A and B are shown apart, each in its own frame.
Chain A
Amino acid sequence: MTAIVGVLGAGVTGQAVGRTLRHRGIRTAWFDTDGAAARRAASRLGGVVLASIDDLGATDAVVVATPAPHRPGVATLLAEGCHVVSLGDDLDDVPGLCDLGAVAEAADRCVVVGAGMSPGLSGLLARFLADQLAVVDEIHVAMHGTGGPACARQHHRALGSRAVGWHDGEWFDRPGGSGRELVWFPEPIGPADCYRGALPEPLLLQRAFPDADRISARVSARRRDRLTARLPLLAPPHREGDRGAIRVEVRGAAADGARVTQVAGAVGRTGDIAGTVGALFAEVCADGRLAPGLTVAGADSVPTAWLLAAAADAGVMLQEYTGIARVAHT
C-alpha cells in the first residue's frame, strides 16, 4: 500500500506539493483553514479533504505549506506520530523547528526543516556541488521570486529585518536590504540586484556544512522594495506567485589544491519548485529513507542525487554555470 501524505495549506505552494505527489502516484489528504481552498485543490489534484487538522495524524507524512509560524503545528503533528516536512522560511520560526529534532528522534519520526526552494533546493544543489570538491570554504545562495501571497509578505518582512550570515566561523547580523550584489540567475531571469535579508538559509546550511567558513544568503529586490521594506506591504502580492530562480555558488579546493568555484541554479515558478521539493522530501520520509530526527537539505544523510533527479523529472529546470563565475560588487 502506498503512503498517504497530508498537505497542510492549499495555497499556491500547497497545490504544487499536491501536483508532485499526484505525479509520483502518492495519495494525498488536504487540510486548510479555508475549507473551500482545500476542496478546490482536491478536485483539481485528487485526494481527500480532511474535516479537521487533527485528522492529519492519520497520514504517514505531512507537508506544512502554511504561512509562518510552523513550529506549533509541527510539534503537534510529531506528537501524533507523523513525519513532518516544513516549507517554512521564517528566520524567527526556523530555530524553534530545528529544536524539534530531538522530539522527532525520540518519537522515531523525521522532521525536515526548510524543504522549499530556498532553503530546500538550495541545500540540495550546494551538496551536489560540494561533492565535486575536496574542501568547501564558502557557500553563497541567492534567490529571486516569491511563491504565493504569504511568501511575498515573508519576502517583504525579510528585507526589513536583520539578516544573519556565517563569516569566518562566527555569526554576524546586518540590516536587511544591505550588501547589494548583482547576481546572474539562470535565463530567462538573468541579472538581478540581491540583498541580505532575514533568511534562515545560513542557519540551515551551516548545520549541513559545519566546516564551511562563510555562508551567505541574499534575495532579489527592486529598489522600491528595499526603500519600502520597513513599511507595510503597499501593493497586494500576486495571487499566483511569479517565476523565480535560485543560484548557489560553492567555493573551495579541488583534490589537487586548485581553487574552484562551482555554480548551479534552477528556474521556474517559485511555488512549483518549493512544492516539488517539499513533496519529494515527504516521499523519502514516508519511505523510511531518512533517519529519524532533524533533517536539513544538504545534509550528508539526505539522498541528494535522487531528490535532484526526481525534481528534474517533476519539471524543475536545474542548471549549471559553465565558465568563470564572476560576481560584480557595487
Chain B
Amino acid sequence: MRLLRRALLALSIASVIAGALRLRGNGGVPPQEGGWRELRVPDS
C-alpha cells in the first residue's frame, strides 16, 4: 500500500513537471522591421 502511494505521488509530481515544461515559454520577439505586402506574380 505504501509503495502504491509513493508510486502515485511520484506519478503526480512527474505529471505536474511535464505539464509545466510543456507549457513553459513566454512567446517571442516580433519582427522589428518589414511587413507583408501583396505578392505580384509575373504572368507566365
Contact = CB atoms under 8 A, between A and B. Distances in A.
Most buried by A among B31, B38, B42: B31
A322 B23 contact: no
Q: How large is the interface on B (under 10, 10 to 19, 20 to 34, 35 or more residues)?
A: 20 to 34
A303 B44 contact: yes
A309 B41 CA distance: 6
B44 A182 contact: no
Contact of A323 (B22, B26, B34, B38): B34
A319 interface: yes
Interface string B20-44: 0011011111111111111101111
A330 B43 contact: no
Contacts of B44: 303, 305-306, 309
Contacts of A330: 25-28
Contact of A318 (B23, B31, B32, B39): B39
A106 interface: no
Contacts of A327: 28
Contact of A329 (B28, B34, B35, B36): B28
Given A182-B28, A323-B31, 10 more contacts: A186-B36, A191-B27, A305-B41, A318-B39, A319-B37, A319-B39, A322-B36, A325-B34, A326-B32, A330-B25
8 contacts: A223-B23, A227-B22, A264-B39, A309-B41, A319-B37, A319-B39, A328-B27, A329-B28
